[in-house]
Amino acid sequence: MSIISHSRRFIFVAVPKTGSFRVREALRAELGPEDEEQMKLRPSPRRPDAGLVRVGPGHAPAWVLRREVGAETWREYLTFAVVRNPWERFVAYCALTAGRNGRFEHEPAVCMTEVLDNARNRNRVLIRPQHEFVTDERGAVIVDRLCRAERLQEDFDELRGELSLRAQVLSPAKSLVERDYRSYYDDELVARVRSLYRKDVELFEYDYSS
């Protein structure tokens, strides 16, 4: 999940289903004893009195992290996150929820429609719009850098240079999706996912084919 590094002076905001695991894996090797890492199921034991322990496990949005570290620290540290094409991200989520029994590959349109039709999915953290994790209460982006999942190694290399981190090749992406995400869509599904993630599409300047 999210990482606050006081030794390297950066804050990584983990947006779900964007490849953030690969970034966390690389950053973890650079952390010092005073740094903080938000875990999936439990707070990191690194600093039992730290802000991420108060936040708890899971994907904390940027505004919550800023509140915990304070506005001054937030301004002084390099803050960054990863975003992803919303249509590709939605396919990845649907494949995950369908499980490993092959149902998604056999009935992708059915699985995707079921997710869209189920109103309870709107509150599931893995499907929530990405902008909610990188903006403040007024909807303004408050992280310094937005890396793109589509060019993650290149963007990570630029950040690594700014932070004086050692060179690393990110681990290969793990996916349950076997084909190009566009092959799972028809016109109706394209439009429905665009409506669901309208602000992500506009704010991060994505389109269906990007």
pLDDT digits (tens, 9 = 90+) for 173-184: 878 888 999 999
Q: Are 13 and 80 in contact (CB under 8 A)?
A: yes
User: Percentage of residues in the chain with pLDDT exceeding 90?
Assistant: 63
Measured distance CA(67)–CA(65) in Å, rounded: 5
Mean pLDDT of 84-100: 92
pLDDT higher than threshold 50 for residue 48: no
The per-residue pLDDT of the chain, averaged, comes to: 88
Burial class (CB in 10 A: 0-12, 13-18, 19+), 157: middle
pLDDT at 173: 81
pLDDT-derived band at 50, boundaries 50, 70, 90: low
pLDDT at 111: 94
Closest CA to 203 of 9, 15, 10, 1: 15
**Quick one: residue 192, left, alpha or beta (phi over 0 = left, psi -120 to 50 = alpha)?**
alpha
pLDDT-derived band at 58, boundaries 50, 70, 90: low
Q: Give the alpha-carbon dihedral of 194, 199, 200, 205, to 10 degrees.
A: 90
Report angle CA 95, 98, 100 to the nearest 5 degrees.
Answer: 85
Global pTM value: 0.89
